[in-house]
Amino acid sequence: MILEQSGGGRETESQNLEGKLPQNIVREIREELLMSKAELARKAGVSPLTIDRIERGKNCRMETRRKIILALGYNLSDKDKIFEED
């Protein structure tokens, strides 16, 4: 399905929905720690693509969230600071 965007541009339905996905501050924290996506992915035991998707607001499994929180050096009790819930 293609949605019309003002200004004559076109965007797909999935691109339109990205703005409505749950937000997180993984990228902000990662950059503050001067850590690359690849480095965070290695520390968390996930792929760099997974990190990229999460930073863009895509959903992930609870286990993946846990790995990322710990790889960033946070406690699991800080999960709501990093991943906002709906």
Q: Encode pLDDT of 5-52 as tens digits.
A: 444 444 444 444 444 555 789 999 999 999 999 999 999 999 999 999
Q: Is residue 71 exposed (0-12), middle (13-18) or buried (19+ Cβ within 10 Å)? A: buried
Residue 21, pLDDT score? 53
Q: Which residue has the tokens 């609870």?
A: 62
Q: Does the structure show a pLDDT above 90 at 71? A: yes
Residue 24, pLDDT score? 86
The pTM is what?
A: 0.71
Instruction: From 26, 13, 29, 7, select the one nearest 64 (Cα to Cα).
Output: 26
Q: What is the CATH number of domain 22-82?
A: 1.10.260.40
Residue 22, pLDDT score? 52
The Cα 2–Cα 43 span in angstroms is 38
The Cα 27–Cα 2 span in angstroms is 29
